[in-house]
Structure formats: C-alpha cells, structure tokens
C-alpha cells in the first residue's frame, strides 16, 4: 500500500520547528558575539590600548580612586596659557607676613596681570605646608591655569563663583625664591600646552567649595548697555 501525504501529518511540523530553532540559535549566536566584541573594545578604550570614538579624551582616576576624591579640574583640552592682561587676579595674604600680598601684587602687575587689590584672606583656612592656592570658578579655568604657570606647587581650588576672576592666596609656606617662577621660565613655556599636576576631571564633574563672600571686581567684564530713554 502506497504512502499518502496525509499518513504522516507530523513531519512538516517537526521540520518547521527545527528550522525555527536553527534560526533562533543563529540570531542569539550573532548577538552574543557582538556583545562580546563590544565589551572587549570598551575595556581596550578604557585602558588606553585603542582610541575611542570621542573627539576628546576621557580623563578618569587610576588605581580605583573614587571620583568624589578628585578635586582638580583638567585644563581646557589643547589650551595654552592666556595672555596675562586677560586674567583678573586679587592677591590674598593668608600668612603671618605683613605686606606679603602687596609685594606679590606688584610682581604680577609687572608681568601684565590685571590686579585688583591685596587683602587678607578670611574665607577658609590654608594648610601651613601650602605655599599658594588659586581659587577660581568654572569660567576662570583658563585664567587659573595661566596664573598657575607663575608659581611652583600651587593648589587649584574650584569654587562656585560665576565669573572669571581669580583669587591668589599666599600661605605660610610661600617663599619667593622657591615658589615664584621667573618671568623668563614662564615665557619659555608659552608654546607648551597646559597640563594638570595630578589626577583630574572635566571641570563640570568636580565638586566646588564656597566662593568668598565678596568677589574681586572685574574691570574686564562687559557692562550691560544702558537703555536709551524713550522719545
């Protein structure tokens, strides 16, 4: 007796299920391979072994350092020191040496900075081992790094001021012979990109400290135009 198609109704169903399983296995296999390749690429980018698809490098702390522990903002990417006459700086004395701020203000004035006074620092305490602190806001990042070139071992402190002014704070450890960089050495670094002295993060990721209650005057700020009287 010959076999008719209706005598084996389960065969087409089995073939359909087998074909469906094979397609599913193929799709899942491709997904697993793709995810594995993406993971390997991500690890390589993070470790700096290959260039990532970003125009600017991501700077992250090494050695498992918590981001919250990083207080230094990176300089603008690829930036050089600004012209001194674009930097507004107030000099603050946090040491026990009378007249120290005034003397440093004269030096900076002679180097072309826009100095706006020499006063005593009362906003925060300065560690006795710190010679210089530079307090600035996000708008003054380039100005802070420009001023930093003139002092050895300065600590850059990001605060919440909204303008580009900078406060230079002189501590008890300030010694002009060791701390102040000569004008000639500063000029020699003019064509060298600004770099951070340690682990840093983009300025928008760094926590800020309170700014001084009274900020320096900014003679370079653009004044709002006075409305003309209506005729």
On whether residue 214 sits in a domain, the answer given is no
Residues in the chain: 231
Task: Give yes or no: residues 75 and 121 share one domain.
Answer: yes
On whether residue 210 sits in a domain, the answer given is no
Q: What is the mean pLDDT of residues 88-107?
A: 96
Which one has a higher pLDDT value, 141 or 34?
Answer: 141
On whether residue 222 sits in a domain, the answer given is no
Enumerate long-range contacts of 195-199, CB under 8 Å, 24 or more apart.
195/75, 196/72, 196/73, 196/74, 196/75, 197/72, 197/153, 198/72, 199/59, 199/61, 199/62, 199/65, 199/70, 199/72
Task: Give yes or no: residues 118 and 196 share one domain.
Answer: yes
Instruction: For residue 194, give every residue at least 6 positions away whose Cβ sits within 8 Å of its Cβ, in sequence order, or none.
Output: 75, 76, 79, 80, 81, 142, 145, 146, 149
Distance between start and end Cα atoms, the chain: 113
On whether residue 82 sits in a domain, the answer given is yes
Task: Give yes or no: residues 30 and 94 share one domain.
Answer: no
Percent of the chain scoring above 70 in pLDDT: 79
Q: What is the mean pLDDT of residues 68-97?
A: 94
Give alpha helix (H) positions in the chain.
10-46, 100-110, 141-148, 176-179, 183-188
Task: Give yes or no: residues 91 and 156 share one domain.
Answer: yes
Which pLDDT score is estimated for 55? 46
On whether residue 83 sits in a domain, the answer given is yes
Task: Give yes or no: residues 25 and 85 share one domain.
Answer: no
Task: Give yes or no: residues 80 and 194 share one domain.
Answer: yes
Task: Give yes or no: residues 41 and 71 share one domain.
Answer: no
Task: Give yes or no: residues 148 and 36 share one domain.
Answer: no
Q: Which of 45-49, 51-55, 154-158, 162-166 has the lowest mean pLDDT?
A: 51-55
Cα(117)–Cα(90) distance, rounded to whole angstroms? 5
Determine if the pTM surpasses 0.95. no
Which one has a higher pLDDT value, 41 or 219?
Answer: 219
Task: Give yes or no: residues 31 and 83 share one domain.
Answer: no
pLDDT per position as a tens digit, 135-192: 999 999 999 999 999 999 999 999 999 999 999 999 999 999 999 999 999 999 999 9
Both tokens assigned to 154? 């300065």
On whether residue 20 sits in a domain, the answer given is yes
Task: Give yes or no: residues 73 and 150 share one domain.
Answer: yes
Q: What is the mean pLDDT of the chain?
A: 85
Which one has a higher pLDDT value, 178 or 13?
Answer: 178
On whether residue 16 sits in a domain, the answer given is yes
Structural domain including 30 reads 11-46
Which one has a higher pLDDT value, 8 or 87?
Answer: 87
Domain count, the chain: 2
Task: Give yes or no: residues 25 and 73 share one domain.
Answer: no
On whether residue 4 sits in a domain, the answer given is no
Task: Give yes or no: residues 160 and 122 share one domain.
Answer: yes
Which pLDDT score is estimated for 64? 54
């Amino acid at each position: 007796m010959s076999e008719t198609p209706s005598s084996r109704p389960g065969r087409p169903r089995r073939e359909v299920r087998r074909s469906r399983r094979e397609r599913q296995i193929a799709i899942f296999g491709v997904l697993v391979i793709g995810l594995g390749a993406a993971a390997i690429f991500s690890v390589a980018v993070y470790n700096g072994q290959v260039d990532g698809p970003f125009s600017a490098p991501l700077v992250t702390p090494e050695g498992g350092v918590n981001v919250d522990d990083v207080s230094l903002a990176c300089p603008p990417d690829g930036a050089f020191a600004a012209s001194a006459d674009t930097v507004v700086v107030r000099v603050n004395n946090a040491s026990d040496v009378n007249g120290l701020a005034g003397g440093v203000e004269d030096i900076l004035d002679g180097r072309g900075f826009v100095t706006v006074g020499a006063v005593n620092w009362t906003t925060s305490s300065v560690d006795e081992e710190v010679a210089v602190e530079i307090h600035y806001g996000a708008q003054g990042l380039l100005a802070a790094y420009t001023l930093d070139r003139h002092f050895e071992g300065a600590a850059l402190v990001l605060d919440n001021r909204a303008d580009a002014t900078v406060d230079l704070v002189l501590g008890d450890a300030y010694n002009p012979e060791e701390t102040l960089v000569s004008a000639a050495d500063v000029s020699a670094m003019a064509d060298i990109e600004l770099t951070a002295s340690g682990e840093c993060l983009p300025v928008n990721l760094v926590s800020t400290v309170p700014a001084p209650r009274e900020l320096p005057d900014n003679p370079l700020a653009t004044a709002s135009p006075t409305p003309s009287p209506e005729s």
